[in-house]
Structure 1
């Protein structure tokens, strides 16, 4: 059996042709493919505006900047996420506060968030960054109610969940990144994600003022828009009005993203199909625990919009299973090491034991192979070896 990774990009001839056509065009960067990708992605998630950037971390940083995060800001997020979800606040000088997860879903526990907010005066905290971990979608309607009660903004980290959704209180599907409840949402186009551009990211919002700030900060804080200029010396003139960054994404990568987006629904359907096979295989196996979806945790048989970037199981001897699978060329992975246990965050005062549910989850979690080109034969081999070890 050839090596089976936990995730893998899927590049087709159409993808290659799209990139080659752009390489042969007049624009390699700051050209028409950027705007085309932005519009296509905004349409896909149902948001008014989208801003394409160099990667998901840049997207988070720009969001924090646009929302005015500074040394006085205190922001809440989950410890079970890639560290960029927290780092973006630190880039702007703000303070991060982690809140423990719901052990049934591994998502940020809204009840624990509420308890933290109630323990401090209103205005003490500034914002919340919930994460659609593994593609399991956060109920942002509930977080929005809580955020409004305490005057907080919301950045939805939806890197794992393009195409995912939750069902709101009116029975309507709310797509991840549509910004109906979050002020801003961000996505990543790293190779193992649903849509792969090599590196790349996207920010979505329905707020025009935030959108304009993002455009400015993405390109050094420079504008050429005649309506925004304080002076105008001629057609060449531009002004640096804010301290921004070069977080642009080139046209070649946007061309790849446009091509990938055209089969995003098919890829998502395949991921859900793979998850269903895993669910059925492991449902009654002693020693294997499957994460619940957010909706299942609230109500059995609810419709779920899980996007399945990852398929995570929990087992008692995680290290043993990890090593055993590698001997059979199955390269499962661990997501994530709790952010508060990283040396950088320990130096800020966090310590092991602060968030016991996150730490227990980490000791047991393993992400099994999950990507659209995973074959039925490969998946059955993975299932066979997992069961063999556990039994």
Structure 2
């Protein structure tokens, strides 16, 4: 009989404000929820423009459209990212290029990125997509300087970085060409779906808005059912109902991050020195800890099974892209092509961390890990 998970990897909790906003939408109140969300989100992160989408992957796909990605173009990304990153690139018959990661943050290694850009300057090299794993950023000033120097656009995947900061500024306002957020991120599913694209670039937002609704245009003076189509777009639009719910999520995010940091501190103090377990570095005060990733030095998968048998869910961020059948076969990638990502993949394990976890839940996770660790030799 399968063990019931009592402390899941993620859990959503609907606030009173979320219920109120959703009720307004259901009751047909004259509130333009999507427009309100876009304005509130732009103000929250400090971006000039925000465009809500039906999902985080839709935001990424729309970003590629806005950059006019074409067949044969190249987009560089971390080999340790969700499959949605290279997936949106391949939908344009463009080519993702994978870069190995840093040992401690699991983010793209900027030295290796710069070496690749320096050795492969080409008009076909269109963009770099950088994933902020768990809300931890790379040296963004250096990244943006690379973008300017090598003439490539910088797109940030902030699926796990809502409310995270870099040098005191929220992700979304630090200088990227486009930043994409996901309100139902990969292994932490929300009750609703939604994404958002932010930018400070007038041309990018104009093109994104055009393409977000089938590239349809209307004459304001004509009948409302008269339209023209001026390009190839798609339907990326967010529903009013989802927007209503997400608006409340934004107002609560800073408090949620505060609680996540408290939980992370409890984990770090409780697991410090436990044999076979390595906790993440707590040096970076701007780490939002949307993920808490530990390393298990022996039999990570059996460790996760043992946790599941104790009712505790876990996650994995991520299976390196070069190990996945499609990319391995398509680009003739070898297992050892990205040694840091491979080594990390064999050890990393993401623990439950979310604002509505109780201290008792956290202590239960800690005590269970300690108990399991004692059985390892």
**CA-to-partner distance for each residue in 1:15-53, whole Å, 9 max, x for gaps?**
1222122111167xxx71101000111111110100000
Closer, same or farther in 2 for the Cα pair 1:254/1:112, shift >3 Å?
A: same
Measure the CA separation in 2 of the matches of 1:188 and 1:197: 13
What are the ranges of 5 or more consecutive residues in structure 2 without an aligned counterpart? none
Partner of 1:170: none
Q: Is the aligned partner of 1:99 residue 2:81?
A: no
C-alpha RMSD of the superposition: 2.0
Q: Is the aligned partner of 1:215 residue 2:233?
A: no
Verify the 8 A CA contact 1:123 1:150 in the aligned structure 2.
no
3-state secondary structure, aligned to 2:76: strand
Q: Is the aligned partner of 1:383 residue 2:377?
A: no
Measure the CA separation in 1 of the matches of 2:356 and 2:125: 43
Closer, same or farther in 2 for the Cα pair 1:96/1:2, shift >3 Å?
A: closer
Tell me the CA shift for residue 124 of structure 1: 5.2
Q: Is the aligned partner of 1:343 residue 2:321?
A: no
**CA-to-partner distance for each residue in 1:153-174, whole Å, 9 max, x for gaps?**
011001101111122xxxxx23
Verify the 8 A CA contact 1:195 1:260 in the aligned structure 2.
no
Tell me the CA shift for residue 216 of structure 1: 1.2
Tell me the CA shift for residue 127 of structure 1: 1.1
**CA-to-partner distance for each residue in 1:264-306, whole Å, 9 max, x for gaps?**
111111111111111112233332222336xx4xxxxxx5311
Measure the CA separation in 2 of the matches of 1:93 and 1:132: 25
Partner of 1:204: 198
Verify the 8 A CA contact 2:9 2:188 in the aligned structure 1.
no
Aligned mate of 2:287, from 289, 300, 306? 306
Partner of 2:166: 166
Comparing 206-215 and 283-292, the one that deviates more: 283-292
**CA-to-partner distance for each residue in 1:197-253, whole Å, 9 max, x for gaps?**
611100000011111111111111112265xxxxx7555432211111111111111
Task: List aligned pairs for 1:58-69, cutoff 5 A.
Answer: 58-69=58-69
Partner of 2:135: 135
Verify the 8 A CA contact 2:56 2:185 in the aligned structure 1.
no
Q: TM-score, normalised by structure 1?
A: 0.89
**CA-to-partner distance for each residue in 1:308-330, whole Å, 9 max, x for gaps?**
22111011221121011011100
Partner of 2:171: 176
Partner of 1:90: 90
Aligned mate of 2:264, from 270, 275, 299? 275
Closer, same or farther in 2 for the Cα pair 1:193/1:259, shift >3 Å?
A: farther
Measure the CA separation in 1 of the matches of 2:53 and 2:206: 14
Q: TM-score, normalised by structure 2?
A: 0.93
3-state secondary structure, aligned to 1:147: helix
Aligned mate of 1:22, from 7, 22, 25? 25
